[in-house]
Chains A and B, each alone.
Chain A
């Protein structure tokens, strides 16, 4: 009887964990914008005022939201749109068009997409328009159908705005801003971009039609706010079915945010990158360790997750090279030391390698030149060594100038960790210019 009861509770426990995973994964990976707005309240207010003026009062506007990657541009825009759509009048009237610079790579595709999103494909039918402007104004006229004297307000959202600025003649941007300046239809054009110098990219005629309203998002929160965000992101919502579990979970989260090791890890992470996306990656990694047998996050999970996130990838690659390839790297390091980072070719590297073999090597066999060449080409394939100019038919492969893309510290660090490194190779690496 009791075993059945405990099995039931375990089942419920397993389901509970699954629910926790689902909610938190959606929060970290799918970026559902339900969080508090830390430090961006003023920008949010500005944005929502702007949108309200277009949606409710019929005023045309344009604005650019500028901020580095991961600073919350899409998040604040989505939240503003959600709040706006709660107003009944807005929900029934206003149309939204979402464009993305990565998807609509030229203006023709963009126009087709606008037609589709405004659901005007039937209206357009097979009409052929002379210019872009004609097409766009036709679309906006078509929205006037019915008893309305003015057409519905349209909010245009342009993600990756800087990519639109690379289109030919910036036609789409010109026309959108033109409409937002003229009084025909109430249109709001909101662009999101990560480039601070976006205005330099715009042509003069486009720039003059733009309202120069810029909303800047700089991750301007301090470490204590960062800790609060950390706690808030991990906390389960009130609406979670299992109240008892929620309490225990939130208690563990509180304990985590006060633990010294966790604070150190978060401080290291904060110093590397402030944005919330990397925090979400860290939390997601810690979350993936949770199972029915271990239902709560412990500090070790976060420490391990931080370690995974901050690995040096080039050192990892050097760790997997063969001894011959390591010898070539050391020969190149010596060439860089002697000749002050001037580019060299394979023949010079082979020469250095030969000198090492003849004088100091006991454990490394004197390999033939083609075998050494194959190892050198492997390094080129891994992009640790880069050719200075394009392959021309005129130069033989041994004489092409190349450059090493690792610096001395990286090589020495990698050698420390290299497994079973022969001692004479290690000594050769550490020795300085003792040949000359």
Chain B
């Protein structure tokens, strides 16, 4: 038992329950066991270690790798074939088409390998993907002991609860076991376990304490925390290495590392930058403000007109149509305050998402916000267009107007709009062949469009209905 206990920290009770359930080699056990728990709670690791140290005949399969039933069944049979390393049958590949063949071949292979008097364990990792494969796989695996009439136990590992697996007409219920999540004490113990030998255990434990203090409320995933611990330790040791502080100077060390960890939270934690980039940054000791994550690269440099088209698209998406008159006409009449002010928080467009708008509305708003910044020739046309649009609100009239007066101007604008669609700053809604013209939707966030608007000195907040 000793090597097992050292290998699996904080999981002693789960290991002892499993060992008690397995019993001796020739004893029968539950036909199927379902183990669930959060990701990185040790399910796969404990199972692998337990099987290896107890030298039980087993097969471990990952259902993400083996995504069709054929690959899955062949993988199991071929691994079973290689159980006893002395035989040369490892080289021959067993082909298996259906579960019927699998049952027959399973009986044959276990007999050939000489393990048909012991329990054979089949471990299916990431078992939630079994639900999307063929419908008979999951119920058949649950009953494998009955179908093959052999001593076999199938173990399912998953992070989804059993209630979501159960087929409609019911199935053979497995024994359900829970791997509890690690408490903060457990996490500390496990993380402190892999301290580098150059430093003392207490020093590393203090570092882990600080790390958990920053990240514990956000993330309790052991794998993520280990990754962050490994990445940031060199920065933590920096003052000690440089000689500015010794190992026990907890305040200085904390002051050094804490802003660094906060920065890590919205870059490396979110995978905005890769770990190698992060490590390079730490070594170069550059100013952290210059950090550019993946989403920062979305701030492409747009041409002048495209910026206005984007701003107009944002206004078209997030302002209701009836408010266009108030914002974009130079001489709007009196609008009754009562009907205007009625807005619930729920229907705030910024909560519901962007609405689709027709192309003409975009162009009308565009001409309205651009009029003061462009040559006077376009000015007259824009005013005419706008007035006619508002008074008739008929798309056919708008289109004929466009085709008569502004044809070349319109084509250039259309190219700009299509380029924005390609950049996925706008999306085309509906089909290409719709008779009443294309509809678009603006898919950028408020911060992005405010940054753009600032570069052209346009105060977008003044024009947004939700911010009145």
Which residue numbers of A lie inside 8 Å of B, CB to CB? Answer: 18, 21-22, 25-26, 29-31, 68-70, 74, 100-105, 109, 113, 162-163, 194-195, 277-278, 281, 284-285, 288-289, 308-309, 311, 313-314, 316-317, 319-324, 339, 345, 347-348, 351, 364-365, 367-368, 370-371, 374-375, 381-383, 393-396, 398-399, 419-420
CB distance from B249 to the nearest CB of A (A): 25
* A320/B41 contact (C-beta < 8 A), A25-B28, A102-B136 known: yes
Contact B36 A109 (CB under 8 A): no
Q: Is B352 close to A, CB under 8 A?
A: yes
A42: min CB distance to chain B, Å: 25
Partner of A109, one of B100, B217, B220: B100
Chain B residues near A322 (CB, 8 Å)? 216-220
B contact face: mostly helix, strand, loop, or mixed: loop
Report if A347-B353 is in contact (Cβ < 8 Å); known contacts: A29-B29, A320-B220, A394-B427.
yes
Across the interface, do B217 and A324 meet the contact criterion of CB distance under 8 Å?
yes
B residues 353-392 touching A (CB-CB < 8 Å): 353-354
Binary per-residue interface labels of chain B (142-164) against chain A in the complex, 1 for a CB within 8 Å, 0 otherwise: 01011100000000000111111
**Contact B145 A365, beta carbon cutoff 8 Å:** no
**A102: chain B residues within 8 A (beta carbon):** 99, 136, 139-140, 143, 147
Once the chains are docked, how many angstroms separate the CA of A394 from the CA of B430? 9
Q: Which of A194, A394, A420 sits near B441, CB closer than 8 Å?
A: A394
Q: Are A69 and B171 in contact (CB under 8 A)?
A: yes
B23 CB within 8 Å of chain A: yes
Residues of A within 8 A of B146 (CB): 31, 74
Residue contact A195 to B24, C-beta cutoff 8 Å: no
B286 at interface, CB cutoff 8 A? no
Map CB proximity to A onto B1-38 as digits: 1 under 8 Å, 0 otherwise: 00000000000000001001101101111110000111
Query: Which chain B residues lie closer than 8 Å to A375 at the CB level?
Result: 218-219
| Residues of B that sit less than 8 Å from A by CB | 17, 20-21, 23-24, 26-31, 36-38, 41, 98-100, 103, 134, 136, 139-140, 143, 145-147, 159-164, 169-173, 175-178, 180-181, 183-184, 216-220, 265-266, 269-270, 272, 295, 346, 350-354, 427, 429, 441, 443
Interface contact B218-A18, CB-CB below 8 Å: no
Closest chain A CB from B228 CB (angstroms): 13
For A68, what are the chain B residues with a Cβ–Cβ distance below 8 Å?
A: 170
Q: B266: which of A288, A308, A309, A371 is its contact (CB, 8 Å)?
A: A371
For A31, what are the chain B residues with a Cβ–Cβ distance below 8 Å? 146
Q: In the complex, which residues of chain B have a beta carbon less than 8 angstroms from the beta carbon of A278? A: 173
> Are B346 and A339 in contact, with the CB atoms below 8 A?
yes
Once the chains bind, are B351 and A317 in contact (CB under 8 Å)?
no
List, in ascending order, chain B residues with CB within 8 A of A100's CB: 147
What separation, in Å, do the CA atoms of A347 and B430 have in the docked complex?
24
Complex formed: what's the CA distance from A348 to B347 in Å?
A: 11
Q: Which residues of the other chain, B, contact A319 by a CB distance below 8 angstroms?
A: 180-181
Smallest CB separation, A139 vs chain B (Å): 18
A347 CB contacts on chain B under 8 angstroms: 350-353
Known: A21-B27, A320-B220, A367-B218. A374 touches B100 (CB 8 A): no
Residues of B within 8 A of A351 (CB): 351
Which residue, A69, A285, A289, A316, has most C-beta atoms of chain B within 10 A? A316
24 CB contacts below 8 A, A to B, read A22-B28, A25-B27, A68-B170, A70-B173, A100-B147, A102-B99, A103-B98, A105-B98, A109-B98, A277-B172, A278-B173, A285-B21, A313-B36, A313-B162, A314-B163, A316-B36, A316-B37, A316-B180, A320-B180, A322-B219, A345-B351, A374-B269, A383-B161, A394-B427
Q: In the complex, A29 Cα to B30 Cα: how many Å?
A: 6
Query: Which of chain A's residues has its CB closest to B136's CB?
Result: A102
How far, in whole Å, are A383 and B128 apart by their CA atoms in the complex?
11
The smallest C-beta distance from B63 to any residue of chain A, in angstroms, reads 16
Q: From residue B422, how far is it (CB to closest CB) to chain A in Å?
A: 13
> Are A313 and B41 in contact (CB-based, < 8 A)?
no
* Chain B residues within 8 Å of A103, by CB: 98-100, 103, 136, 140, 147
Q: Are A281 and B175 in contact (CB under 8 A)?
A: yes
- Write the nearest CB–CB distance from A292 to chain B, whole angstroms: 12
> For residue B150, which residue of chain A has the nearest CB?
A30
Rounded to whole angstroms, the CA-CA distance of A114 and B453 in the bound complex is 75
Q: Is the pair A313, B427 in contact by a Cβ cutoff of 8 Å?
A: no
Among residues of A, the one whose C-beta sits closest to the C-beta of B134 is A105
Residue contact A22 to B266, C-beta cutoff 8 Å: no
Residues of B within 8 A of A374 (CB): 269-270
Contacts of B178 in A (CB 8 A): 311, 313, 316
